[in-house]
Amino acid sequence: MNLTIVGTGYVGLVSGTCFSEMGNTVTCIDIDESKVENLKKGVIPIYEPNLEAMVLKNYAKGNLRFSTKLSDSLGKCDIVFIAVGTPMGEDGSADLQYVLSVAKQIGQEMQNPLIIVDKSTVPVGTADKVKNTITEELKKRNVDIPFHVVSNPEFLKEGAAIQDFMKPDRVVIGAEDEFAIKQMKALYSPFVHNRDRLIFMDVKSAEMTKYVANAMLATKISFMNEVANICELVGADVNQVRIGIGSDSRIGYSFIYPGSGYGGSCFPKDVKALNKMAEENGYSASLIAAVEEVNDRQKFVISDKIIKHFGDDLSGKSFALWGLSFKPGTDDMREAPAIYVIKELVKRGAKVIAYDPKAMEEAKHFYLKDVEGVSYVDSKYKTLKDADAMILLTEWKEFRSPDFDEIKTQLKNPIIFDGRNQYDEEILTDKGFTYFQIGKQ
């Protein structure tokens, strides 16, 4: 098929690249000229395992193209995916200005029948707005070109997006026209060849599914972090509690690891948007609001432990920090716990020496660019020299089995604050460390 993907952010670039991998002809559109030129040169704007190689291969084959002009691809296009950003507004709602701007342009420039797919995470009712916007523009042109609007939310995990797209757990498609359903089924059939994982439903239910999925996962995280904080107060070990409840098949082990809170591009935004959606419809979503409240508090648990141990005045103290991204496998620092921990420490006079395998440029140029007292080094062990303690905030693989003897030798004090509960307390205690973790005294 001939596909157009509008937006070359995380969702758009991954989707377009994976579709091209299956032999489709894909044109990715973005209004950012420098971004498009860089993509043509093989410069990928995000880090995602295996994405760069797949982009370069399919661009070289001619399956994948990049342009700034939507009109370049609409003439021969079968399906248009809208994959632009839906940033969070000041009130917590999803901002649809970019989605509707693309819809307007499609209405102004389409010449042939089209299927328009909302790939961006959008509130319930957005497909209707897209449809109305396109219809209005066609009326202005005094033309009648048939089109169908479909919802196809993405369920990609950062750090595993290529695998998720190529071998999906499920593909949710909201469509109410038989032709659109057949076309979407044909498009996705190569991805679900061994097992039919296509789930068709009405458009509004598909729009809702994405928000509910992310809110459910965020709820599990906040619930376990709440339990961890209670465990710490009563003297229980949350790590043992986790094993005890996870063995129940109704609960399972996924997303019940205590930590420093969730971050990233999806969970924080989608939880807020779902809460706002409920509010706009006259419903008080108390549980969803509590999920966000617990997560906001959890970002400060590690910094609170540090301050409790060393005192409120951290002047002259330095801390080795391992991990800046909100999770391993990505350079994404949006709402990352590291941002909150670092700011709490440096405002009390501390110095932070940080290392992350992928996110340091993001920290330097965006998320921590105006924060004084932070420096960056090119290996985890270089952070340690004469530091008063080590802090772990992202569970990258290279942090999982470090040389603890080397850590102890380099640190001024053998102290570790573990924001992801990665290490074995007994091993560290035997080696003479003071070990602080989530959910245990």
Residues marked active site are found at: 266
> Could you give the 3-state DSSP secondary structure of residue 173?
strand
| DSSP character string of 379-420 | SSGGG-TT-SEEEE-S--GGGTS--HHHHHHHSSS-EEEESS
- Could you tell me where the DSSP H helices lie in 75-202? 97-109, 126-141, 161-166, 178-188
> Do residues 128 and 174 make contact, with C-beta atoms less than 8 angstroms apart?
no
> Is residue 125 within a helix (H) or strand (E), and if so which, with residue range?
none
Q: Vertex 428, ends 425 and 434: CA angle to 5°?
A: 90
> Do residues 78 and 84 make contact, with C-beta atoms less than 8 angstroms apart?
no
| DSSP character string of 43-87 | --SS--TTHHHHHHHHHHHTSEEEES-THHHHTT-SEEEE----P
